[in-house]
Amino acid sequence: MKFTLVILGAPYSSAASFSAWRFCRAALENNQQITRLFFYADGVHNTTALAAPPQDEIDLPAQWSTLIREHNLDAVVCIAAALRRGVLDEAERDRYRKQAANLGAEFSLSGLGQLIEATAHSDRTITFGH
Amino acid sequence: MSTLHTVNKSPFQSQCLYNCTDLIAPGDSLVLIEDGVYALKLGGEERARLLNAIKQGTRVYALNADLQTRGLDSSWAEIKTIDDSEFVELCCKHQRIQSWY
Amino acid sequence: MRDILCISRHSPQSGLLAKEALDTVLAGATFDQSISLLLMDEGVWQACAPLGTELSAFKDLSKNLNVLALYGVDTIYIHANSLKARGLNAHELSSGNTTLLDQADTQALMRDHQHIFSF
């Protein structure tokens, strides 16, 4: 079956992000398809490339990046949710004249239409909230 | 087709579990995830409220990894413990998923 | 069966989640999906107009609810028990185009949609 995953929780404020990550991994192990990962609301904090947690702690943004890379997943971050929370790619950094871009290479910024489109092409949608 | 519900908040902290069980339809299923698994420690009237939903035809599950990390074991005969793969399988078996948080 | 049901269960001034839920409804309608909005639990406060939001980090969401009709979302579904539990009456809601649902109607609404966005 085809799944859209909506991730609304920031990495360290709740268990939502790790639950979504585990669900994604289990779905892939069971030969389900992931149409799209959609990071929205506080979930956009999972997509920063600048997180540097202590070595003996789980690095959730890095774990998401690895899972996405290994399985060639489509990972979209809502641009409006990301901009207001300070998650920018290089184009947005330039547009808003900010000091840095921090969006991980595995993610792309786009609009909510990408969530709607993914849902339209999926059998199931599951939300992981905070 | 039926709906799969998830609850990720402890019933000792939040109304989520009861919001869900008040509305859940016969044939629907509920998976307790994250702090939602603390529902297994309910006693008295609150426990009866959850058992009543089960009697009305709701299947209730608890995510094993979340039980383990919280030092709980499944002591309810009425609640089945499932792993992450079985959670995915339940999502496939239900038409839609409502997450209560 | 309709495409998407957005279930919004959080209050308008506790964070941005209620606003971000509403934005998915606008997006769904813009992209020609049959999308519905259900306000439930703390979400029913969204339908109450604030007296002012000058001292708030968040804007008046009740105005945004009234815009939905322009996008073809004809009615806002409201879980009647959630209103009742909060001592609210339908005539206290700022939005006119609402439909109150009892438990059975709410269950039927869920069954009538393919996907749920849970907010």
Distance CA C83, CA C90 (A): 8
CB distance C31–A119 less than 8 Å? Answer: no
**pLDDT at res. B88:** 98
- In the CATH hierarchy, which fold is given to the domain comprising A2-128? Hypothetical Protein Ychn; Chain: A, (3.40.1260)
Q: Is the confidence metric ipTM above 0.90 for this complex? A: yes
**pLDDT at res. B1:** 84
Cβ contacts of residue B19 below 8 Å, gap of 6+?
Answer: B100, C9, C40, C41
CB distance A40–C115 less than 8 Å? Answer: no
Instruction: Label residue A95 exposed, middle or buried (CB < 10 Å: 0-12, 13-18, 19+).
Output: exposed
The CA distances from residue B8 to A129, A130, B67, B85, B100, in Å, are: 9, 9, 12, 18, 7
Of C5, C107, C114, the CB nearest to B23: C107
Q: Give the residue among B43, B42, B36, B33 at the shortest CA–CA distance from B86.
A: B33
Mean pLDDT by 10 residues, chain B (101 residues): 96 98 96 98 95 96 98 92 98 98 98
Instruction: Write out chain C residues lying below 8 Å of A6, CB-based.
Output: 117-118
Instruction: Write out chain C residues lying below 8 Å of A122, CB-based.
Output: 115
Instruction: Write out chain A residues lying below 8 Å of B66, CB-based.
Output: 15
Opening angle at CA A16, ends A10 and A21, nearest 5: 95
Distance CA C107, CA C112 (A): 9
Instruction: Write out chain C residues lying below 8 Å of B101, CB-based.
Output: 118
**pLDDT at res. C96:** 76
**From A75, A78, A103, A115, the catalytic residue:** A78
CB distance C111–B3 less than 8 Å? Answer: yes
Q: Is there a catalytic annotation at residue A24? A: no
Of A19, A25, A126, the CB nearest to B97: A126
Contact A10, A45 (CB under 8 A): yes
> Going from the N-terminus, what domains does chain C have, and what CATH number goes with each?
2-50+57-118 (3.40.1260.10)
Of B33, B85, B89, the CB nearest to A19: B33
**pLDDT at res. C53:** 87
pLDDT tens-digit profile of A49-81?
Answer: 999 999 999 999 999 999 999 999 999 999 999
Give residue B76's Cα distance to chain centre: 12
**pLDDT at res. B74:** 80
* Candidates C5, C24, C36, C73, partner chain A, best to mutate (most A CBs within 10 A): C24
Q: Averaged over A25-46, what is the pLDDT?
A: 98
Cβ contacts of residue A50 below 8 Å, gap of 6+?
Answer: A100, A102
Low-confidence ranges of chain C (pLDDT < 70): none
> Going from the N-terminus, what domains does chain B have, and what CATH number goes with each?
3-100 (3.40.1260.10)
CB distance C20–A129 less than 8 Å? Answer: no
**From the CA atom positions of chain C, what is the Rg in Å?**
13
- Average model confidence (pLDDT) across chain A: 98
**HSE-CB of A123 using CA atoms within 13 angstroms:** 13
CB distance A129–C119 less than 8 Å? Answer: yes
| DSSP for residue A129 | -
Domain positions in chain A are 2-128
The two structure tokens encoding residue B89: 């399988």
pTM over 0.95: yes
Instruction: Write out chain C residues lying below 8 Å of A124, CB-based.
Output: 115
C81/B contact by beta carbon, under 8 A: yes
Contact B6, B33 (CB under 8 A): yes
Distance CA C12, CA C103 (A): 23
* Candidates C9, C20, C34, C38, partner chain A, best to mutate (most A CBs within 10 A): C20
Strands in C1-119 per DSSP E = 2-8, 35-39, 76-79, 98-101, 113-118
Nearest-CA residue of chain A relative to C16? A41
